[in-house]
Chain A
Amino acid sequence: MKNESTVIDVPAESSSAMKGSAPLIGVARDHTTNGSGGYKRGLSIFDFLLRLAAIIAASVAAGTMFTSDETLPFFTQFLQFEAGYDDLPTFQFFVIAMSMISGYLLLSLPFSVVTIVRPLATAPRLLLLVLDTAAMAFNMAAASSAAAIGYLAHNGNQNTNWLPICQQFGDFCQKTSGAVVSSFVSVVFFIILVVLSGVALKRH
């Protein structure tokens, strides 16, 4: 095997520490940070896109529930002939909560952009993770309580004599059910966002 030799001129002023080993260690560290910065930046871009999708899901849920009014053309003995989201306090909570979730997601977009630009900074990611966890719990609470009321509206409860109102208000029930489904989709997005932030935070 043939040996090749090369001569490198090292200026004396540049090496303040140990002369032989400092440049080698410096090169190795740079390589490691460049490598981890790459996939973390990819995770941050995916995080940003997921946030955009979650904004759409949350605002669709709030809007659909808000506009789910229905007026029946006839008059029945026991029930009102009008149904809207403001007839049920749980649905009111749902609309307010989903609007707040959409607003929070919009405000968190700049933080997500910061994590794309600086993939190794942990403070924005940690802040996003904590706020996303709280927002996810809030979102799930709204979705789940509206689902419970929606289930009651569809099936009623014989033991408590709560009649199912969906048999009269078909459109209203359809729209509220659609809003609840959209809100559950937003919850799934939040779960993925939290896990993404957790994975991107971990050290090597």
Chain B
Amino acid sequence: MAKESTTIDVGEPSTVTKSSSHVAVDEKKKGFVAAAAGGGYKRGLTIFDFLLRLAAIGITIGASSVMFTAEETLPFFTQFLQFQAGYDDFPTFQFFVISIAIVASYLVLSLPFSIVSIVRPLAVVPRLILLISDTVVLTLTTAAAAAAAAIVYLAHNGNANTNWLPICQQFGDFCQATSTAVVAASISVVFFVLLIVISAIALKRH
């Protein structure tokens, strides 16, 4: 077995710097190769993320405006119920309109971050910001959609035990509009879950 010997000079700062920078250059070369390979599919994912955001903007604006304009005035007068129904008769629907509008404006404001992630597929900070804020907004959207769904369910079916009468039998158009808004908000919840999963996949290291 042939042995090799090497002499290392310890104590000169220039020598230490030279050897560590030599290592850094090699590391950078290897890191560069890995970066070029990973950037491709991440960029594709981020473009899909951007398109999902555009679709979610459309759906949330639609949901909020459909609920906002869901008014109905009955042509006759009944003994127990008002002959007018609107979203502001229900605090839950008021919460729905306001929070879905907030979600829509958040999505518009998050578009620049998405574009930055497309341009720089390997940057971690924009994606992490998007992941965290998407999680919070998912919570808000789910809250609004679920609360409105509970009230819409009550309006359709009523409750015999608490003597809450189903109002949909009188206010058919109002019920239809509110149900449509709730369905649209639920679709946007699915979009948000997809956005979070995309951000997580694009974040992970190789």
Partner of B135, one of A80, A130, A134, A194: A194
Q: List A contacts of B145 (CB < 8 A).
A: 141
Asked whether B200 lies within 8 Å of A88 as measured between CB atoms, the reply is no
Query: A159-B89, A162-B164, A194-B196 known; A201 and B205 CB under 8 Å?
Result: yes
Task: Check B161–A126 contact: CB distance below 8 A.
Answer: no
Determine whether B23 belongs to the interface, using a CB cutoff of 8 Å to chain A.
yes
Interface of A is mostly: helix
**Binary contact track A73-104/B, C-beta < 8 Å → 1, others 0:** 00000111001000111100000000000000
Given A6-B10, A122-B205, A137 contacting B162 (CB threshold 8 A): no
The minimal Cβ–Cβ distance linking A106 to chain B, given in whole angstroms, is 22
The answer for the CA separation of A78 and B162 in the assembled complex, in Å, is: 8
- Bound CA span A148–B167, Å: 17
Query: Beta-carbon contacts of A130-163 to B below 8 Å, as 1s and 0s?
Result: 1001101100111111111101110101011111
Interface string of B131-168 (1 = CB under 8 A from A): 11001101100111111111101110101011111010
CB distance from A118 to the nearest CB of B (A): 14
CB of A1 closer than 8 Å to a CB of B: yes
Residues of the A chain whose Cβ atoms lie less than 8 Å from the Cβ of B199 = 198
Contact A198 B81, beta carbon cutoff 8 Å: no
Cβ-based interface call for B66 (8 A):
no
Assess the A149–B154 pair: CB atoms within 8 A: yes
| Minimum Cβ distance to chain A for residue B197 (Å) | 5
Q: CB within 8 A of B11: which of A1, A79, A161, A187?
A: A1
Q: How far is the CB of B32 from chain A (nearest CB, A)?
A: 14
Residues of A within 8 A of B109 (CB): none
Q: Is the CB of A191 within 8 A of B136?
A: yes
Looking at B81, B92, B157, which has the most chain A CB atoms within 10 Å of its CB? Answer: B92
Residues from chain A with Cβ under 8 Å of B91 in the complex: 151, 155
Given contacts A24-B22, A165-B162, A195-B132, contact A136 B139 (CB under 8 A): yes
B-chain residues with CB within 8 Å of residue A149 when the two chains form the complex: 150, 154
- Residues in B whose Cβ lies below 8 Å from that of A157: 89-90
B97, chain A: closest CB distance, angstroms: 14
Does A107 interact with chain B (Cβ within 8 Å)? Answer: no
Tell which of B30, B142, B153, B206 has the most Cβ of chain A within 10 Å: B142
Nearest residue in A to B127 (C-beta to C-beta)? Answer: A202
Q: Tell me the B residues contacting A by CB distance below 8 Å.
A: 1-12, 19, 22-23, 26-27, 30, 80-82, 85, 89-92, 124, 127-128, 131-132, 135-136, 138-139, 142-151, 153-155, 157, 159, 161-165, 167, 189, 193, 196-197, 199-201, 203-206
User: Could you pull out 16 A-B pairs where Cβ atoms are within 8 angstroms?
Assistant: A5-B7, A9-B3, A10-B4, A12-B4, A13-B1, A89-B153, A136-B135, A136-B138, A141-B149, A143-B146, A144-B146, A152-B154, A160-B81, A161-B80, A191-B135, A203-B203
Q: Which 10 A-B pairs have the closest CB atoms?
A: A203-B205, A145-B150, A148-B147, A141-B146, A87-B161, A159-B89, A144-B146, A144-B143, A140-B142, A148-B150
